[in-house]
Amino acid sequence: MSRFTRPSVQSWLKNIRLSVQARFSSKTRVSSSAAVSPETRGVSVEPTNAVVDFAEVESDIRAILVRKGYDNGNIGPLLVRLAWHCAGTFDANDGSGGSNGARMRFIPEAGDPANAGLDVARNFLEPIKRKHEHLSYADLWTFAGVVAVHALGGPRAPWKPGREDLPALPDTEQENKASASKCPAKHAIPNGRLPDAALGAAHLRAIFYRMGFGDREIVALSGAHCLGMCHVDRSGYDGVWTHTPNEFSNKFFKELLESKWRKRDWDDWTGPEQYMDETEILMMLPTDMALVWDQDFKVFVEEYAQNQDKFFEDFSAAFAKLLELGVPRA
């Protein structure tokens, strides 16, 4: 099929890196007292009752966000994905799954195709875990997502510690790697609980309703696709959702409504079905397009495209709810 010359996405990404780094480097290298909620200071984390200084943890997370040469120069979007995926296995029917336990250190969750590339995120955070020995992986991963959203210009989602890690099995030296041993059978969660980007509205509802979310929350959480990009070697998809992939905003919804989308039909494209804008720089997944094809979802897309404050409010509440799934509280 004939087509105009393919633009170089990587060249475009390279051009924005310097401006992105200049914009966010000052935000991500802050003192431990900056932009930290008062309730995160000196919080006791079970079961050791050792005090973890979450102001310092936040400072350490912010200090690693800007990373020259990685994607668009910032690992924040990757940390948001890690937080999302470690919590998104929850099933409200039986209370299984969720962020408690940090099961992604173990098979099968570490090997779930939906989690491809998240070993990179976990390894970025590993030095912080070693520094703060009483901090659980489950708290670190979820807190890193909250910090990343805020550092990239988004809302500060409510968050509190207290998640515990499943113990590493004997002789497992690399528990944070995808090659780790199997999760103890009684704690293992089957793969397939995370969204499949190739499917549509009915699938989104099945996944999110299982966790206890409604349509508004589904759309609000989907707005996190304002951040980051897809990788062919991970999900099979390729490209960015917005022109500002390191900025948390309502631009994902604006692009959905304002751009003209068509199936990617490049001669050299052999990947899964995805949609491109007229410039063939921005892309959308089938689950993204479902948000405008389904009229009940579209109502919220239109609302958030017009009102970023409302999007931030609803995302903050839904993200906080997501990260609490499966966490036992007294």
Task: Cite the active site residues.
Answer: 85, 241
Rg over CA atoms, the chain: 19
Residue 92, Cβ neighbours under 10 Å: how many? 15
- The residue type of 132 is H
DSSP bridge pairs for 308: none
* Gap between the Cα atoms of 249 and 312, Å rounded: 8
Q: How many whole angstroms separate alpha carbon 120 and alpha carbon 104? A: 12
What torsion, rounded to 10 degrees, do the Cα atoms 242, 243, 247, 250 define? Answer: -40
Please count the other Cβ atoms lying within 10 Å of the Cβ belonging to residue 241: 24
Nearest 5 degrees, angle CA 58-CA 87-CA 251?
A: 70
